[in-house]
């Protein structure tokens, strides 16, 4: 992006390791995002489990826009703007099944599952130009499927989904993300800007202070001291149990049980070799057990050897997957206002092909301090309201980022500036591979804008 382009973006990122505070609460900046960012990006609209059968449908909302996502009769997925072409009434609220298409509850206009208008009450009372066939059909929305999810884009000129989600897609394909299913789904209202909420999960710098229970003695040997393999195994089991209790999907209970069965394994006194043998052995046991249950699961040691055993993947602008052993957590963020965010968490794991699963209900959003929130997100959420309030301090001007370990925050902010500057898709799509990666411990990079 040129300096001239940046001048069109208020509070633009001129110094890469400094992010102006106004980007997190200024109403005009938020309005620019609503107009120039969100309508032009691919968004995860629903998990396909939400619409498992033909003619199932679900509403996806982003800001003031509402989209119907539905299964057609051949089990394909399509999307339409959720607006009756008569006087603008929304046709769907929440989730349902459109056995006979959609009927507007106001005046009874009807639409098939292909979006075509099938009925106008008292058609003779309308002038011809207000009831033209084709012109009164539902407005289609770009929709594609990948990774067990349906994705929408409100921009008809946007590049295809796959071109916009690499290298995240290749890594998650290796993890066989499409074969995972949700065990639970939670939703939270966070009193913080959507970017601030996402950034709490984009770096590891906060972990030891925010999550003190993860300071587990014995996981890493002291610089000067003997390495005890048994203490190491006990500390690893403690870590896995803590992660399961704190976040569930990140370390599944079945993986913890398998690890506990391996605690008598003999390990060498060399710390690096001991860790390598433990990880390889546990990976093999996890894969063996899941395949024995008829689950689709990748070879975890092959993932490690190929460099795809990433602990987190980020997909611009609002989607995370955190895979670990057999399972994963997944996050989606959506803005509700300049200083409020809706965050959802899915706990994903493996099930046998064809195994019947009850459809999860759409969760009612909890407050971020609700006692039902799992322990690890509770700790993350505790910082966010305080941070959002702190940004308004008169003496605070900008975030001071570590160039080496908080660089991803700068990287994706500079891509946001590209959208707000109105850059064409062919320039923006070339920057996406630098953003759609594991954000942890990542430095500031040239994203090509």
Q: What is the pLDDT of residues 130-179, one digit of tens each?
A: 999 999 999 999 999 999 999 999 999 999 999 999 999 999 999 999 99
pLDDT tens digits, 265-308 = 999 988 889 999 999 999 999 999 999 999 999 999 999 999 99
Number of Cβ within 10 Å of residue 307's Cβ equals: 9
Task: Decide if pLDDT at 447 tops 90.
Answer: yes
The rounded Cα 288 to chain-centroid distance in angstroms is: 29
Per the domain annotation, does 289 fall within a domain? no
Instruction: Give residue 2's pLDDT.
Output: 52
Return the residue matching tokens 């409020």.
Answer: 340
How many structural domains comprise the chain? Answer: 1
Q: How far apart are CA 14 and CA 7, in angstroms?
A: 9
Phi and psi at 3, nearest 5°, equal: -60, -35
pLDDT tens digits, 345-388 = 999 999 998 887 888 999 999 999 999 998 889 999 999 999 99
Task: Decide if pLDDT at 216 tops 90.
Answer: no
Q: How far apart are CA 333 and CA 39, in angstroms?
A: 15
Query: Long-range contacts: 7-16, Cβ < 8 Å, 24+?
Result: 8/420, 8/421, 8/422, 9/417, 9/420, 9/421, 12/417, 12/420, 13/410, 13/413, 13/414, 13/417, 16/401, 16/403, 16/410, 16/414, 16/444
Q: What's 48's domain CATH number?
A: 2.102.10.10
Contacts of 256 (CB under 8 A, 6+ apart): 237, 240, 241, 244
Per the domain annotation, does 79 fall within a domain? yes
Contacts of 127 (CB under 8 A, 6+ apart): none
Per the domain annotation, does 207 fall within a domain? no
Residue of 282, 417, 419 lying closest to 12 (CA atoms): 417
Q: How far apart are CA 413 and CA 428, in angstroms?
A: 13
DSSP state of 135: T
Number of Cβ within 10 Å of residue 110's Cβ equals: 17
pLDDT tens digits, 227-277 = 888 999 999 999 999 999 877 667 999 999 999 999 999 999 888 899 999
Confidence of residue 188 (pLDDT cuts 50, 70, 90): very high
Per the domain annotation, does 208 fall within a domain? no
Per the domain annotation, does 68 fall within a domain? yes
Confidence of residue 396 (pLDDT cuts 50, 70, 90): very high
Q: Where are the beta strands (DSSP E) in 176-247?
A: 180-190
Q: How far apart are CA 78 and CA 144, in angstroms?
A: 8
Q: Average pLDDT over the chain, rounded to whole? A: 93
Residue of 378, 69, 361, 333 lying closest to 195 (CA atoms): 333
Instruction: Give residue 204's pLDDT.
Output: 87
Per the domain annotation, does 37 fall within a domain? no
Residue of 416, 439, 18, 445 lying closest to 202 (CA atoms): 439
Structural domain that includes position 55: 43-153
Query: How big is the CA angle at 249 (ends 244 and 255), to the nearest 5 degrees?
Result: 60
Per the domain annotation, does 223 fall within a domain? no
Return the residue matching tokens 């996406």.
Answer: 432
Residue, of 375 and 82, whose pLDDT is higher = 82
Confidence of residue 4 (pLDDT cuts 50, 70, 90): very low
Task: Decide if pLDDT at 321 tops 80.
Answer: yes
Per the domain annotation, does 416 fall within a domain? no
């Amino acid at each position: 992006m040129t300096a001239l382009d940046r001048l069109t973006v208020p509070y633009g990122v001129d110094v890469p390791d400094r992010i102006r505070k106004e980007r997190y609460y200024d109403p005009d900046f938020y309005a620019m995002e609503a107009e120039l960012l969100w309508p032009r990006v691919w968004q995860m609209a629903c998990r396909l489990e939400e619409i498992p059968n033909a003619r199932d449908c679900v509403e996806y909302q982003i800001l003031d826009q509402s989209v119907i996502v539905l299964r057609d009769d051949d089990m394909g997925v399509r999307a339409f703007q959720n607006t009756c072409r008569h006087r603008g009434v929304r046709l769907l609220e929440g989730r349902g099944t459109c056995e006979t298409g959609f009927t507007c509850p106001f005046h009874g206009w009807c639409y098939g599952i292909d979006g075509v208008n099938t009925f106008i009450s008292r058609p003779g009372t309308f002038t011809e130009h207000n009831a033209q066939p084709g012109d009164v059909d539902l407005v289609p929305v770009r929709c594609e499927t990948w990774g067990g999810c349906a994705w929408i884009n409100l921009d008809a000129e946007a590049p295809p989904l796959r071109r916009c989600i690499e290298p995240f897609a290749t890594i998650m394909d290796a993890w066989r993300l499409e074969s995972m299913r949700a065990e639970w789904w939670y939703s939270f209202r966070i009193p913080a800007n959507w970017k601030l909420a996402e950034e709490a999960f984009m770096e590891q710098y906060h972990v030891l202070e925010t999550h003190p229970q993860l300071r587990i003695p014995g996981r890493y040997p002291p610089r000067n001291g003997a390495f005890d393999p048994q203490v190491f195994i006990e500390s690893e089991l403690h870590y896995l149990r803590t992660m399961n209790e704190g976040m569930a999907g990140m370390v599944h209970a079945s993986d913890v049980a398998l690890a506990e069965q391996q605690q008598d394994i003999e390990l060498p006194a060399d710390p690096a070799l001991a860790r390598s043998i433990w990880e390889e052995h546990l990976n093999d046991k996890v894969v063996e057990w899941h395949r024995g249950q008829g689950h689709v699961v990748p070879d975890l040691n092959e993932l490690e050897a190929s460099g795809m055993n990433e602990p987190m993947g980020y997909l611009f602008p609002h989607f995370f997957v955190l895979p670990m052993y057999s399972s994963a957590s997944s996050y989606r963020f959506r803005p509700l206002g300049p200083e409020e965010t809706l965050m959802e968490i899915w706990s994903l794991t493996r099930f046998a092909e064809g195994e019947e699963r009850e459809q999860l209900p759409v969760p009612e959003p909890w407050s971020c301090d609700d006692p039902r929130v799992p322990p690890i997100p509770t700790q993350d959420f505790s910082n966010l309201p305080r941070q959002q309030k702190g940004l308004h301090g008169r003496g605070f001007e900008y975030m001071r980022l570590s160039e080496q370990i908080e660089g991803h925050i700068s990287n994706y902010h500079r891509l946001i500036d590209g959208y707000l500057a109105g850059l064409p898709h062919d320039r923006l799509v070339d920057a996406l591979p630098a953003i759609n990666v594991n954000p942890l411990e990542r430095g500031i990079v040239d994203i090509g804008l």
